[in-house]
Copies of this chain bind each other. A is one copy, B any other.
Amino acid sequence: MTNRDDVLDTLRGLGYGDDDANTLADHFLDAEARGKRGHGLTRVEWLTTLDDLRPDARPERVLAEPGFERWDGRGALGYLTLAAICHAQLEDPPAHARVIVAAHCFPTGVLGYWVRKLADGGLVAALTATSPPRLAHPDGGEPLAGTNPLAIAIPSSDGKPIVADVSMGAVTYGDVLAGAAANDELVPFGGEQAHKAFALAVGLQLLVDSLLGAEAVARDADHRGRAGSAGAAVFNYGAVMLVARPEADPVPALRARAGGARLPGDR
């Protein structure tokens, strides 16, 4: 599966309509092109292994206020829920800022991909999302936190947004699945200062869980055993996004100071 047509054929074969198939293909092919293979074409094959795909499901915006929206994936893949959220923000940007909470939003793929879409449309965005617990406390014990990435994108008048997208894991779960990393390498990043990445993973997870609603708290050991599946319908993994209208254009000045150094999100 190496070209777009093959990817689209596979997704249509799973029951996705043209719009959703294109949305999913765009994400997987971009992840592949950026070297994030754990979120790339391997995921197309992974989708074919799931027995609970619901290609007919549609994410829903269940609450909309000027500064706050609540969404629910309603059984759709998290990719499609985030795509719908991004589309809605670009159609109706906030006057200043807006917080968006998305329940049943899993898997979410490359978070930087979604915030980059918003930055390409002129909006500042920060996004985090929860995933099955894989990171243990640096002192040991059972996994307590997902790799819970934080992605931040800032538009730039030079056309090249900055996109920071940091997972709190030293390796990705995709690397482990692909055999490129051992399971015991899936620890908070930071070496001697792994407690810092662990703290961020815990903080971001609880931020999402506390805003999702009570059912998120039910995520426990029994559930985690099945968390390799799409999961959106079973476990309440979710996402929290901040989207804002920029008041300034700080990226070109930072690029100038950085000389030619590669900045977050550059290819």
Contact = CB atoms under 8 A, between A and B. Distances in A.
Interface residues of A, number: 77
Given A124-B207, A126-B207, A212-B247, A220 B253 contact: yes
Interface in A177-222: 189-193, 196-200, 202-204, 206-207, 209-217, 219-221
A72 interface: no
A196 to B, nearest CB: 5
Copies in the complex: 2
A141 interface: yes
A53 interface: no
B250 A97 contact: no
Interface in A61-110: 63, 65-68, 70, 94-99, 101
Contact of A242 (B141, B142, B200, B242): B242
B199 A166 contact: yes
A251 to B, nearest CB: 6
Contacts of A95: 65, 68
Given A214-B248, A216-B248, A249-B217, A254 B99 contact: no
A267 interface: no
A165 B248 contact: no
Contact of A254 (B66, B206, B251): B206
Contact of A250 (B162, B166, B217, B259): B217
Nearest to A99: B97
Given A139-B262, A162-B203, 9 more contacts: A68-B97, A139-B261, A151-B203, A164-B200, A166-B196, A210-B249, A211-B248, A217-B248, A221-B257
25 contacts: A63-B96, A66-B67, A67-B67, A67-B96, A67-B98, A97-B99, A98-B99, A99-B242, A124-B211, A139-B261, A144-B258, A150-B203, A152-B200, A153-B203, A154-B207, A164-B203, A189-B196, A190-B191, A190-B197, A196-B197, A198-B264, A211-B248, A212-B247, A214-B249, A220-B253
Nearest 8 A-B pairs (CB), nearest first? A67-B67, A164-B203, A152-B203, A209-B250, A97-B99, A191-B191, A164-B199, A199-B264
